[in-house]
Amino acid sequence: MSQAVLILIKPDGLKKSLTGNILTRLSETKLEIVAAKMVRVSKELAEEHYKHLKDKPFFGEIIKYLQGELHDRKKVMALVYWGKDAIKKCRELAGATNPEEAESTSIRGSYGRITTTGVYENVIHVSSNEPEAEREIKLWFNPDEIIVDLYATKDLVLKEITNKVWR
């Protein structure tokens, strides 16, 4: 069954110039990229993204990590991949959460590490199941940034909203 999955190339992946390698690995899946952008991650976005982990002792550190504060790279690359068994295929390629336990040929096994403060720096995020993927994709993308219709939308007419446009 076709499904969508959110992928984030985290700040360590960008700092280590791994974007090309990671996208090449993900292309093995033959899935389609249906959205992609660079994002400057606010504290609010990071906390919402990881809200299921807010009681964990490492919560504060992973919020700083996703915001790029540990790598002096205040950005992540966000992508949506679409196709058959997208979540399973991408999570398999990513490998286990703990990069030391991840299979050595997986993305996290190849490029991840554990810092001295105990953060699992594992270079990419992959949604873990379909409800999480939907929640995360709606958090990171607006409907018009995705080239296929993934989820139901509605029209919202906004008045007196200031938008930045090219001049």
Active site residues: 125
Rounded to the nearest 5 percent, the helix, strand and coil shares of the chain are 35, 20, 45
Asked if 122 is part of the footprint of ligand IDP (rule: CB under 6 A), the reply reads: yes
Judged by DSSP in three states, 156 sits in: coil
Query: 122 touches which of Mg ion, ligand IDP, none (CB within 5 to 8 A by kind)?
Result: ligand IDP
- Report the partner that residue 38 touches, choosing among Mg ion, ligand IDP, none (CB closer than 5 to 8 A by kind): none
Residues from 29 through 68 that contact ligand IDP (CB under 6 A): 53, 58, 62
Q: Is 16 helix (H, G, I), strand (E, B) or coil?
A: coil
Task: Identify what 89 binds: ligand IDP, Mg ion, none; CB under 5 to 8 Å per kind.
Answer: none
Q: Which is nearer to ligand IDP, 29 or 106 (CB)?
A: 106
